[in-house]
Amino acid sequence: MRVLVVGNGGREHALAWKFLQSPQVQQVVCVPGNGGTASLKNCRNLALSVDDFEGIARYALVNNIGMIVVGPELPLSLGITDFLKAQDLKVFGPTQEGAQIESSKAWAKDLMREAAIPTARAEVFTDADSAIVYIRAQGAPIVIKADGLAAGKGVTVATSLEQAENAVTACFSGQFGKAGSQVVIEECLQGQEVSILAVTDGLTIRPLLPAQDHKRIGENDTGENTGGMGAYAPAPIATPEIMQRIQTEILEPAIRALRDRNIDYRGVLYAGLMITPEGDPKVIEFNCRFGDPETQAILPLLETPLEKLLYACTQRKLADFPEIEWKSGAATCVVIASEGYPGNHPKGLAVSGIAAAEETGAAVFHAGTQMKNNQIVTDGGRVFSVTAIGETFDQSIENAYRGVERIQFEGMYYRRDIAYRVKGK
């Protein structure tokens, strides 16, 4: 099979890398891909943008692409799946209607209410005045969310009323464009977060290994929010008992509620959860795609051929698919970022040491790089995600950092405490 992967991050590099481990996959084409996918054997980049649906369809039809896997939320929310399916292509990723579970937080809240899925109490507002009255009645801490896609910047966990009111004013001031025309205000949940990426064919849903990520830029989970500075799997907080509850209280009701709305959802349903101090799983948000960098921590542990699993989802055959198999042990993924990230950062800096990092046994997934004149250069805020596996978390952490330390470029930054919560496990 030939697989086309849409996207250009570390997640897409990890997907391409995993597909190519299967003897059934002859080639992977990445649109547009990055320096890492350009260097991968049997993988090539295609210089189209992720919203050039016509170009992607034409390429896929002419080149006998067996399956298209969509990484980022943006093309999904713009209807890439609807467009490609109308041309009889096989797509792993939900339709535009299904992608609303991520692209509209108000829509997702409504679905959760309908399906009685445990989540933070919330209200939706379309004007600042009534939102502020509500905030004053509720008190802080409180969480303010722009309704639509805001590139990870639309959420404020406010610890004071002033901060909450400023966040509401910012949303309605047009800072997030249309994404901020509705604001969701919700109860602040306490506990530990866990990411459950589940694959579904719209009827059956099966979770991958639970993962945890580190969203803050600084050590001890401090400082600004980022796209994710590292991740690890399998997260021990999600015990088999909690996983069972997640399946019956969250994943299955979500799929049923989507079906009740006549939504044919085939792809990843990613549940971002809080495990409360009482041990109850509650939904913080749903995403309509693989998580980044969780995917880079999860896929290296997968034994089941990825293309078979995802293809079964596109064919509505997940119920008949054998149990998903995993390697024993643990995986840790450390993100290397550019100086200044998540703020302004330079691009185009030469990178060395990638081959030496790979020689340690770590997988070096490129997140923001480009190949220029046979030299890998930086091309984004998050530049690499380096993953290693080990029999224990401690081993996987040590192996991942051994890889990270081989890589060099000017101003590179990484957290030295990734997976601190699972040290000794």
Q: Which residues bind ligand GLY (CB under 6 A)?
A: 213, 228, 287, 291-292, 294
Q: In whole angstroms, what is the distance from residue 25 CA to residue 20 CA?
A: 6
Report, in Å, the least distance between residue 109 CB and ligand GLY: 17
Report, in Å, the least distance between residue 118 CB and ligand AMP: 12
Q: For residue 419, how many C-alpha atoms fall within 13 Å in the half-sphere facing its CB?
A: 33
Note whether 83 and 57 are within 8 A (CB).
Answer: yes
- 118, 272, 329, 353: which one contacts ligand AMP (CB under 6 A)? 272
- 186, 201, 249, 294: which one contacts ligand AMP (CB under 6 A)? 186
Q: CB under 8 Å to 158, separation ≥6 — which residues?
A: 140, 141, 142, 143, 144, 164, 167
Contact partner at residue 285 from ligand GLY, ligand AMP, none, CB < 5 to 8 Å by partner kind: ligand AMP
Helix (H, G, I), strand (E, B) or coil at 210: coil
Residue number with CB closer to ligand AMP (317 or 421): 421
Bridge partners (DSSP) of residue 335 are 385
Contact partner at residue 186 from ligand GLY, ligand AMP, none, CB < 5 to 8 Å by partner kind: ligand AMP
What are the angstrom distances between the C-alpha of 314 and each of 12, 254, 273, 311, 339? 18, 18, 26, 5, 40
Residue number with CB closer to ligand AMP (186 or 292): 186
If you search the block for the tokens 């997702």, which residue do you land on? 108
- Please give the size of the binding site for ligand AMP, defined by CB under 6 A: 13
Helix (H, G, I), strand (E, B) or coil at 130: helix
Q: Which of residues 95-114 bind ligand AMP (CB under 6 A)?
A: none
- 3, 28, 135, 189: which one contacts ligand AMP (CB under 6 A)? 189
Does 120 sit near ligand AMP (CB under 6 A)? Answer: yes
Does 140 sit near ligand AMP (CB under 6 A)? Answer: no
Which residue, 335, 331, 322, is CA-closest to 397?
331
Q: In whole angstroms, what is the distance from residue 86 CA to residue 98 CA?
A: 16
If you search the block for the tokens 């610890």, which residue do you land on? 159
Does 143 sit near ligand AMP (CB under 6 A)? Answer: yes
Residue number with CB closer to ligand AMP (159 or 173): 159
- 188, 203, 243, 324: which one contacts ligand AMP (CB under 6 A)? 188
Q: In whole angstroms, what is the distance from residue 15 CA to residue 31 CA?
A: 13
- 215, 308, 317, 421: which one contacts ligand AMP (CB under 6 A)? 215
Largest alpha-carbon pair distance within the chain? 60
Contact partner at residue 103 from ligand GLY, ligand AMP, none, CB < 5 to 8 Å by partner kind: none
Helix (H, G, I), strand (E, B) or coil at 301: helix
Residue number with CB closer to ligand AMP (12 or 285): 285
Residue number with CB closer to ligand AMP (34 or 195): 195
Does 165 sit near ligand AMP (CB under 6 A)? Answer: no
Helix (H, G, I), strand (E, B) or coil at 271: strand
Q: Which residues contribute to the site for ligand AMP (CB under 6 A)?
A: 120, 143, 155, 157, 186-189, 193, 215, 272, 284-285
